[in-house]
Chain A
């Protein structure tokens, strides 16, 4: 379902989903051409969770994210050109090329630190929440991580702390291992937990936890909004597991794009290679959202295609910016590893 929001807000969510999609579809060929090295992870397929969830936050709230951070940063409004430049290791990158895909941050938007260790941010998120409580500033922290993060000991230790101290933090677990239609069981599973459903783990620490369909933008928006309100009311931490079906392009060791996205795919997936077709037909949260916008008469197909066209233009400009940004000077490697008071 669609989030209960005015049309302009819905179209803005749609635009942000397109930004993520076209950003990452442009990233894959840059890697394949050798423009940047190192591993990287795609957020494609989870736009229906991240975009509406992050839209519920206040401007001064904190967010922590992992190696799969592009979508979160873009949903919050990071400039695509700065993120491209960071991933390409350029001087104009978000982190001046010191972090790369795994560690891109944007402190002015509340992203202080992105960790490539899957559960690394979970204790850190209790820290910003602890600070907000001490500073009585009303800021809350959203900690965005994948299902695999729960396998590391840092997760339960942090849940215990968050629950004991009633910290203002939302643990948003994005489980991209929900079984899709026609998929072999376990083919898409990315975590191995004896605690199942995953919500059993936070529940053991008395943290209210619920499991939702992460491809349903309206459900995500309503559930996150309600959870955030409880946190703002002082009820302590909340845990939400949003389930999505893993993007076929993320099932391989190195990301691929089975089919470049286009608005028309929402109604016709015949051009998609057969292996990936079912995902685009029934599991792609962006295409689901587009169909809902049209069915609810919030936008026409042409209006959506026009939004997509503008986004594609902006992404092309952003790629050019990054490709033309210089590499940092080698001696920058020796700078900025200690803060000067």
Chain B
């Protein structure tokens, strides 16, 4: 067992993946956005320069290049950096990569990973704070992994690269410096297996990405008031582990879903629908969502803080389902 920062765990995964499989190529970016830890990317580049390219600012072009390379047997991992930039590559991601396996009748495999940093990052404003995972969840053919801890980022990244399907790897810059324990010789984390991040008996809080961390802080504060929140992290949206969430609700009978995508047709909306369809009889209170408000993300700090799934909004929602 060792303790690592999230970014260190992520780069340990990248190192091990690059060392283990020469089909893996890293396309664009540093996988760390503008983090001060960018030197670790240079360390990787010193070792594997021939398998790393920094293409021109052509998201459509290089996402297509990566997709084509995957069809030909490489395992490219593309860093789109800011999540909103995937909109520039939409035709290649949503209309070529996602469809190729199905429309070829199961003949052409596309083992490409599209990595991005989503969400509210502090001053990103409307064009650099996007959370495209909800839209991407509406595109059949894409797997979506969304880690929230050092152990998960390492284990899920390995599974994403090993997958034979196009995979969206949804990261968050506010996670990069959190610390957590990773067991020695930890195995890749299979997709479709949720993780109970905190045990509790009163309310189930389903959360993803950085909002898991916000939810855990909210849960600690609520515990001081005598409310025990169980925090469930799906870890992947596609495939989705509904069973773990339902078994938590079996115990708590109450659920709040907190997530940074916008509320309408957002990640929380889809999870709520699935719970309502399959677990309605277990519920003693309406499902509550804590999502980013349905407005373009504003720049100014108090405005940005106001629209996100904050600790205080999560705490209010938890109390409301107990009322």
Contact = CB atoms under 8 A, between A and B. Distances in A.
Task: Rank and list the top 7 A-B pairs by shortest CB-CB distance, nearest first.
Answer: A127-B68, A123-B64, A157-B61, A95-B105, A131-B72, A124-B68, A96-B105
Contacts of B64: 120, 122-124, 126-127, 154, 157-158
Given A112-B104, A123-B64, A127-B66, 13 more contacts: A95-B103, A96-B105, A113-B100, A120-B95, A127-B67, A127-B69, A130-B74, A131-B71, A131-B73, A134-B69, A161-B56, A338-B165, A339-B164
Nearest to B102: A337
Given A123-B92, A128-B69, A131-B74, A160 B61 contact: yes
A94 interface: yes
Nearest to B164: A339
A339 B68 contact: no
B7 interface: no
A341 B70 CA distance: 14
A336 B102 CA distance: 6
Contacts of B109: 339
27 contacts: A93-B105, A105-B107, A112-B72, A112-B108, A113-B71, A113-B108, A122-B64, A123-B65, A125-B68, A126-B64, A127-B67, A127-B71, A127-B72, A127-B76, A130-B65, A130-B69, A134-B50, A154-B92, A160-B56, A160-B61, A161-B55, A161-B58, A161-B62, A161-B65, A336-B105, A337-B140, A341-B163
Given A134-B51, A339-B165, A158 B105 contact: no
B60 interface: yes
Contacts of A112: 71-72, 100, 104, 108
Q: Among A93, A113, A127, A335, which residue has the most Cβ atoms of chain B within 10 A? A: A127
A168 to B, nearest CB: 12
Interface residues of B, number: 44
Interface string B88-114: 000110011000111111111100000
Contacts of A130: 65, 68-69, 74
B53 interface: yes
Interface of B: 25, 50-51, 53, 55-56, 58, 60-74, 76, 91-92, 95-96, 100-109, 140-141, 143, 162-165
B144 to A, nearest CB: 12
